[in-house]
Amino acid sequence: MKKPNRRHRMSFDIGGDELATLFVDVHKLPRKVNKIINIGLTEPHVDRSLAMQGQGDGNRCAGSVCVIDHKDSFSHPVHYVEWTDSRLYVVHKKDKKNFPTACIPYTHTAGHLAQLFDDRTGHGVKKIRKAIQKAGGILPIRLEAIGPRIRSSGPSGKQTSGARAAALLRERRRKAMAVEIDVSAANESHLSTRGTGTSKGKKSIPRGTMRRIFRSRGAML
């Protein structure tokens, strides 16, 4: 796993009136690992979550119960999960006291699932059941691990990471500045010899050379 670049706040119901809040490291899967997982939500998942009073609880909602039921589909351990409107956080590391220490974020295609399930009037749960029945008993949900952030493209058109893109940008600026210095020197030499011929110790720059300099400058910028 790569070194975490941020942390995520997770809340857990440990009994009582208050929730336990922990900050866990956010990890990202290696590039070669399959980051797409397909799971299916069923009515038994909804029933089990309702029996655990999972409405309003990202750890015990219908989506979380479904993920736990498909934990064998993941390429890493699944200890705890937290389901939100647009993200799924899967805890894959914990300490000796079973407290979560690191998680992997995923996106999911069930954007309205949490809002419908948390509807206390019961209408949202009915809509979920109808959607499951309409899908043939299993509502497909697609999970995709959030990979490294892509910020720019390299010279070959391939996407590069943020650090690599910054290095390429610095190199382009350095070359552009070098071209500008060459052009400035050419202009000064041209002005000093214009109308008086070539002075001793100085050489005029041929027109073809100037054309190549400006062409290279335009290519860099």
> What percent of the chain lies above the pLDDT cut of 70?
60
Distance CA 128, CA 115 (A): 11
Residue 150: pLDDT band with limits 50, 70, 90: very low
> What is the count of structural domains for the chain?
2
Residue 13 has pLDDT above 60, yes or no: yes
* CA angle in degrees (0–180, nearest 5) for 205-206-210: 80
- Segment 10-29 shows an average pLDDT of 73
Instruction: Evaluate if residue 172 carries a pLDDT over 70.
Output: no
Q: Which of 148, 176, 205 is the last residue of a domain?
A: 148
> Residue 215: pLDDT above 90?
no
Q: Which range of residues forms the domain containing residue 211?
A: 152-220
- In this structure, are 112 and 216 located in the same domain? no
* Domain limit, last residue, from 102, 129, 148: 148
| 143 and 161 share one domain | no
Tokens of 126: 């009915």
pLDDT at 28: 80
Tell whether 61 and 135 lie within a shared domain: yes
Is 191 within a domain? yes
pLDDT of residue 206: 56
What φ, ψ does residue 199 adopt, rounded to 5°?
A: -80, 165
Shared-domain flag, residues 117 and 174: no
Q: What is the C-alpha to C-alpha distance for residues 8 and 104, in angstroms, rounded to an integer?
A: 10
Whole-angstrom Cα distance, residue 108 to residue 98?
26
Residues 134 and 30 in one domain: yes
135 and 82 both lie in a single domain: yes
Dihedral (Cα; 70, 73, 74, 77), 10-degree rounding? 60
pLDDT at residue 14 greater than cutoff 60: no
